[in-house]
Amino acid sequence: MADTANPAPLGLVGFGVTTILLSSINAGLLPVAGEPVVIPLAMAFGGTAQIIAGIMEFKTGNVFGATAFTAYGAFWWWFALLILLGSNHILDLSSAGSAIGVCLLLWGVFTMGLWVSTFRLSKLLFAIFTTLWIAFFLLGFGALLPNPGLHTAGGWVGLLCGSLAMYGSFALVTNATYGREVIPVGSR
């Protein structure tokens, strides 16, 4: 039986690219009017590519990777559908700030649960999940309160998180290609 390729680089880059684009808007580096550009990226790369990676992780027996990639792929589909349906007035989101805030906080709680497992995984995964739960809490409280400063801070933390994920993808592909650790991930 042939070895199965590690699906984590695909999941990490799908997550990283999409997170960086949305976080650039949340941080104020790109205009809010650019948010519709995130929709197809969230559906195709952040969502679908991560779900594919998650399903592949199930086949390798990696419970952490399967859960994380499949769940965050579904998160990106939720986000894309929320923006798409809201901007087309299929959903009335005019008073949904608190519900969106609570939803983001729930994602933060979920992420903290996964974060505990990263104590036994690479230092890079620990850093990715640390910045991710912080970003979710900042964005969630920013929407719930509402507090634009927290939202912006969440965008900046999201930029760091997405960048770490892209670095992780690059490192895993490079290390697999060379058959040894060339790009460090902080193995434990």
pLDDT recorded at residue 3: 77
Nearest to 38 by CA among 75, 74, 80: 80
Residue range 9-21: average pLDDT? Answer: 98
What residue type is assigned to position 184 of the chain? P
Residue range 46-50: average pLDDT? Answer: 98
**Do 52 and 7 meet the contact criterion of CB atoms below 8 Å apart?**
yes
Above 90 in pLDDT, residue 4? no
User: What residue segments make up the domains of the chain, in order of their start?
Assistant: 8-178
pTM of the model: 0.95
Q: What percent of the chain has pLDDT over 90?
A: 97
**Average pLDDT along the chain:** 96
Above 60 in pLDDT, residue 119? yes
**Do 8 and 57 meet the contact criterion of CB atoms below 8 Å apart?**
yes
Nearest to 152 by CA among 29, 4, 26: 26
Distance CA 28, CA 6 (A): 35
Nearest to 162 by CA among 38, 62, 6: 38
pLDDT recorded at residue 2: 54
pLDDT tens digits, one per residue of 127-156: 999 999 999 999 999 999 999 999 999 999
Residue range 109-122: average pLDDT? Answer: 98
Nearest to 18 by CA among 132, 97, 121, 127: 132
pLDDT recorded at residue 188: 81
Distance CA 90, CA 98 (A): 19
Residue the block writes with tokens 């684009």: 21
Residue range 32-49: average pLDDT? Answer: 97
Above 90 in pLDDT, residue 173? yes
